[in-house]
Structure 1
Amino acid sequence: MNFKQELFTQCENFVNKRLQTVEEIITSNQKGLQSETKNSAGDKHETGRAMLQLEIEKASQQLAGITQMKEILNRVDVSKTSKNAHLGSIIFTNKANYFLAISAGKLTASGKHFFAISVSSPIGKLLLGKVENDEVTFNEQRIKIEQV
């Protein structure tokens, strides 16, 4: 398995795990909301319902973000190669290695460390379209692109 496929699979697993967690939170809070209706009365009841409702709304927003990540991953073509950094590129620099896809944090593939970053992140925007030997400045550090 190549780096790109390995990193892509890890990003898919990251999104699926987050999806499962958020769905569990929503289900749990919906059950809590139903039991609040049956068990309580008065101000305490209203506060409990409001808190659960807020948690459900927060989880629903996270769900929308996860859906967006899935859509981005669907546009990644791991077989596509290019000299220019694009969605799905692996970029080796003198500071760190990056996988332009979704923000999934630090990943390891074949013993090498990569940061899975979104093309809309600050560093992702800088790297997008760059080629080997280009330099970018991020957080007052010069970063040289060694390979795309």
Structure 2
Amino acid sequence: MSDLRKKLHDACVNYVRKSMDAAELGIKEAQKASNEDTKSSAGDKYETGRAMMQQETDRNLTQLNEANKLMVALKRISANGTSIKAEIGSVITTNNGSFYLAISAGIISVDGKNYFAVSPASPIGVLLAGKAVGDSFSLNGKPYIIEAVN
């Protein structure tokens, strides 16, 4: 089962890397556009364009910073071993889907099966933490029963 954990962990790392690459590309494009923008007779247009490019750069820097935080969190997670109780890095199977408790990365497909990558701080992550096989909880009126923890 640790092979599954490793595959899910790698998928999350790839998800974060894609986010980082997109943010870095956005920063480069905004800087390039800002540098290519020449001052015209309509000075306000030039200043507005530069301000918009700065806002775009700032937005992408924020996204890059958030992606870096996710990568740091992933580096703290062991992709090896198994768990008896749900903890960070665990794969939890319930009657309503399977979850990878790591970062919020949405649905990840591994070996033809879908897993929800969820943060331990998310509402469902908080409810999953510490649960063992046979435990149950309810989220938004929907009952969940833990079928397996790995």
TM-score, normalised with respect to structure 1: 0.93
- Structure 1 counterpart of 2:18: 17
1:14-53 correspondence runs (5 A): 14-36=15-37, 38-40=38-40, 41-53=42-54
What RMSD over aligned residues (CA atoms) do the two structures have, in Å?
Answer: 1.3
Q: Tell me, which stretches of 5 or more residues in structure 2 are unaligned?
A: none
SS of residue in 1 equivalent to 2:12: helix
Matched, 1:127 2:115: no
Q: 2: CA distance between counterparts of 1:113 and 1:132?
A: 20
Q: Tell me, which stretches of 5 or more residues in structure 1 are unaligned?
A: none
Q: Which stretch of structure 1 is more off in the superposition, 75-84 or 59-68?
A: 75-84
Listed one character per residue, the Cα deviations across residues 79-124 of structure 1 (whole Å, up to 9, x for unaligned) are: 1322111110000000010001111111111222101111111111
Amino acid at match of 2:47: E
SS of residue in 2 equivalent to 1:2: helix
Aligned residues: 147
Runs of 4+ residues over 2 Å off in structure 1: 38-41
1:89-100 correspondence runs (5 A): 89-100=90-101
Listed one character per residue, the Cα deviations across residues 6-60 of structure 1 (whole Å, up to 9, x for unaligned) are: 1111111111111111100000001111122x34451111211111111111111
Matched, 1:62 2:63: yes
Q: 1: CA distance between counterparts of 2:144 and 2:94?
A: 6
Q: 1: CA distance between counterparts of 2:33 and 2:57?
A: 10
